Copies of this chain bind each other. A is one copy, B any other.
Amino acid sequence: MNIQDVYKDLSITTFFSAFHRLGSSYMSKQMKSFNLGHGHQQFLMALYIEDGITQDELTKRIATDKVTTARAISKLKEEGYVLVEVDSKDKRCHRVMLSKKAYDIREDFTQAITDWQKQLLNNLTEEEEQVLLRLCHKIVEGKSE
**A139–B50 Cα gap in the complex (Å)?**
31
The interface residues of chain B lying within 8 Å CB-to-CB of A114 are 11
CA distance A90 to B34 in the complex (A): 44
Interchain CB contact under 8 A, B14 and A17: no
Shortest Cβ distance from residue A18 to the other chain B in the assembled complex, whole angstroms? 4
A1 touches B41 (CB 8 A): no
Q: For the complex formed by this chain, how many copies does it contain in all? A: 2
Determine the distance from Cα of A64 to Cα of B25 in the docked complex, in whole angstroms.
10
Tell me the bound Cα distance from A140 to B2 in angstroms: 13
Tell me whether A133 is interfacial, beta carbon within 8 Å.
Answer: yes
For A142, the closest partner residue in chain B by CB is B123
Nearest neighbor of A114 in chain B, beta-carbon distance: B11
Q: Which of A6, A8, A41, A62 has the most CB of B within 10 A?
A: A6
